[in-house]
Structure 1
Amino acid sequence: MNRGIDWSVLEAPSLGEFETMCEAAYKGLPEKFRAMTKGILIRVEDFPDPDVMQEMDLESEFDILGLFQGVGLAQGDAVPHTGRMPNMVTLYRRPILDYWAENEETLGHIVAHVLIHEIGHHFGLSDEDMEAIEANV
């Protein structure tokens, strides 16, 4: 079944294209949800750095799709604000592309899922809460 796609010229999305996809997924989140994420940095990298690999006790750099780093809202005032790094969500492009290649989901859906899941850690949301948000995106 050829849908007129010239497969010989297709490439995996670059970091820049992946960032654009991530921005689009973020803009597609419910406004109330986005309003509570002010100040969270969202970035895309190819792989986790060695420190993350060690902290998360990962066997492979493909074992993680995204990561929330920082102080979630549930812990917010328990930690002094001075000198604290901003809360950050990182999506890992290569592991996400690998997951996409092995599953029957669209790349856009996977990116949105990882983004919602990692932002959900900022809020201290349960998996059920995150699934409900995804259902409305």
Structure 2
Amino acid sequence: MTRTFGPPPSAQEFEAIARTAFARLPAEFAAHLGDVVLAVEEFADADTLAAMGIEDPFELTGLFEGVSLTEQSIEASGQMPNRVRLFRQPILDEWIADGHDLEHLIAHVVIHEVGHHFGLSDDDMHALEDMAD
């Protein structure tokens, strides 16, 4: 189902699209996701925005929270599972502003945040995206 125009999906529909994108990650990556939790929220909370130095909540579409695979050690046992948070309203805002396919946009944010789980920086991911274009 491609959404390039029309009414925005409900919160439940949006989450279903995000979970489908997460489930479609290639097996070689999915095998290393372990207990990564996917959460969909309307916006990042004020504490998260403040910690990141972001004033406009529409500027943050997703966030990886946890310890990347490259930084994990046995000493870090007992921590909460890694989490990928998607922020619905900022993603919908970007969808409306740019006219991209919504499923593709959501998958892009999911992949970007999962990349942090694997230890990739924003610069690493932008370089990979540039090579793919």
What is the TM-score of this pair, normalised by structure 1?
0.82
Say which of 17, 24, 33 aligns to 2:13. Answer: 17
| Structure with greater Cα Rg | 1
Q: Quote the offset at 1:101 in angstroms.
A: 0.6
* Residues in 2 aligned to 1:129 and 1:71: alpha-carbon distance in whole angstroms: 22
Is the Cα–Cα contact under 8 Å of residues 25 and 112 in structure 1 kept in the other structure? yes
Structure 1, gaps ≥5 residues long: 1-6
User: Which has the bigger relative contact order, CA under 8 A and spacing at least 6?
Assistant: 2
* SS of structure 1 residue aligned to 2:58: coil
Structure 1 residue 78: Cα displacement: 7.0
**Cα deviation 1:70-103 (Å, max 9, x = unaligned):** 0111110175212x11100000000000000111
1:100–1:110 contact (8 Å) kept in structure 2: yes
Aligned residues: 124
Runs of 4+ in 1 over 2 A off after TM superposition: 128-132
Gaps of 5+ in 2: none
Preserved CA contact (<8 Å) 1:120 1:130: no
- In the alignment, what sits opposite 2:66? 70
Give the structure 1 partner of residue 113 of structure 2: 118
Once the two structures are superposed, what CA deviation does each residue of 1:6-27 show, in whole Å capped at 9, x if it has no partner? x9xx532122111100111112
**One of 29, 35, 40 as aligned partner of 1:39:** 35
Q: What's the % identity of the aligned pairs?
A: 41
